[in-house]
Amino acid sequence: MVIIAVAAALVLAGVVVFLTADRPPPTSAPPGPTSASASTTSPAGAPTTTTAAETSAATTGRTTTTTTTTAGPPFPPSLRGQDLTAVPGAGRQVALTFDAGANSAGLPSILATLADRGVPATFFLTGTWARANPSGVAAIRAGGHRVGNHSMTHPDFRTLDDGAVRDQVSRAEQAIRAAGADPRPLFRFPLGARDARTIAAVNDAGYVAVRWTVDTLGWKGTSGGITAAQVADRALGALGPGEIVLMHVGSNPDDGTTLDADALPGMIDRMRAAGYGFVTLDALLA
């Protein structure tokens, strides 16, 4: 009886195996992840993120993935501890720069002149200006110009502790990025006020400090005894390899003049006649 029972069991198992092996494969793949992204761990132990697009690519056999990084562009270590007054090794090139922290009265004229003459420039924006002028930030970027960080609210950094310095820099960066531009790693101190401590704090925040070779003084306006001709003369008087020219986007608050914008066309023409070209401050990062 035992032998017969064992034999019957073996025959029954064979039938099950045969029927299972002959079953057709499923007509659809098993369901995938239900969330938009899944957290995984790399072989090195660092957390990574797999996006829904990457999951889809994996299930369809495609191997292309997209990696996103938020790391800012580095600056050469040799620039640490400096507040640069010229572009090192630039040759016969000039960097035209414009600070924007008040209004935007001169911006349309400035951008039109730069476009007409095919000249790139660098604009240092405060976070408050970027928030108030998102269309201005967009116009600057559309013109192919570079953007830098000019703090959030334009205080004297020497009066701030290191934590407040970092806060000014990071909040300005966030506001400028929200308006569609990336200011890293270019920074200009408000009022030009700095010391070794604040320069180091800005460097530690990932920024190189950029001053200027000459201030045109156009911001003083006609009420301050300045004319457009004097603005251009000051820029030309300091002309040399790697010159950094400081100008302003806004109008004088007392007389409403925009002398930097008014002087810009003739300034560019005279510099070109003297054999100079133009670069953005990205030249510092080469």
- Backbone φ and ψ for 173, nearest 5 degrees, come out as -60, -45
Contacts of 119 (CB under 8 A, 6+ apart): 96, 113, 268, 278
Cβ–Cβ under 8 Å, residues 125 and 100: yes
Known catalytic residue at 248: yes
Cβ–Cβ under 8 Å, residues 192 and 156: no
| Number of CB atoms found within 10 A of residue 150's CB | 27
Mapped onto helix, strand or coil, the DSSP state of residue 260 is helix
Cβ–Cβ under 8 Å, residues 155 and 201: no
The residues facing 146 across adjacent strands are 122
Alpha carbon distance, N-terminus to C-terminus of the chain: 91
Contacts of 37 (CB under 8 A, 6+ apart): 49, 50, 51, 52
Which residue in the list 99, 215, 260, 262 is annotated as catalytic? 99
What stretches of 151-195 show up as alpha helix (H) in DSSP? 162-178
Mapped onto helix, strand or coil, the DSSP state of residue 124 is strand
How many whole angstroms separate alpha carbon 43 and alpha carbon 31?
Answer: 26
Known catalytic residue at 254: no
Which residue in the list 215, 248, 260, 262 is annotated as catalytic? 248
Q: Where are the beta strands (DSSP E) in the chain?
A: 37-41, 47-51, 83-84, 93-100, 122-125, 146-149, 186-187, 208-210, 214-215, 243-248, 277-278
- Backbone φ and ψ for 68, nearest 5 degrees, come out as -110, 135
Looking at the annotation, which residues are catalytic?
99, 248
